Each structure stands twice: as C-alpha cells, then as structure tokens.
Amino acid sequence: MDVTVSTTHQTLGTVSSTGLLNVSINSKLSPMKVRDAYHLLNTTSPSPFLLAELESCVRFLKHDENIINQAISMNKRLREHISKLPGVTVSEIDGI
C-alpha cells in the first residue's frame, strides 16, 4: 500500500474525531504529490487542540513499543480465534 488514512479516535484512542495520513516508505507516490493533495483537501484553519492531541498520541505510542507489540499480538490471537468460527474466512493483505 502506498497511502492509508487512520481514524485515530477509533484505532489509537484519541478523544476527538481525528485522523492520520500514513505514507509508506516504499510508496510509488512522490512526497510532493502527497503533500500537494493534502494541502488541496486540508482545512486552512486546523484546530490546535486536535493537532496537539494527535501529536501527544503519536509520541506516546512511539516511545512505548510495548503497547504496539501487545496490540499486534492481540490482533493475531483475535484473527486466529475468528478464523475458527464456522462460515468465517479471515483474509490477509500482503501478510497483514
């Protein structure tokens, strides 16, 4: 995948409805095109509160790898249990 958008209030525990634009290190899109598209669609009046909350959440997760590793482990266990349910197929995308 080249680019994804994450809703941080659903996935990372932020209080407000915020999101992150994630660009893969191996993206086929040039950083300039992603930046230009972002600026074209982004608000001209971003909320300092929302930006501070996002920054705080990202810093917290970045400095506590244990939380991320626990989440990955829990996700794998959940996928294993769900795949054992009758009539349920769990798909993978590029090993995710």
Contact 27, 3 (CB under 8 A): yes
pLDDT score at 18: 83
Q: Give the structural domain span for 42.
A: 3-83
In a domain, 95, yes or no: no
Region of poorest pLDDT, from 43-52, 56-65, 67-76? 56-65
Interval 8-26 mean pLDDT: 82
Q: What is the pLDDT of residue 82?
A: 93
In the predicted model, is pLDDT for residue 96 greater than 70? no
Output the six-digit token pair for 35. Answer: 């930046």
**Taking the CB of residue 17, how many other CB atoms lie within 10 A of it?**
10
Residue 88: inside a domain: no
pTM of the model: 0.52
Q: What is the pLDDT of residue 84?
A: 93
- Domain assignment present for residue 91? The answer is no
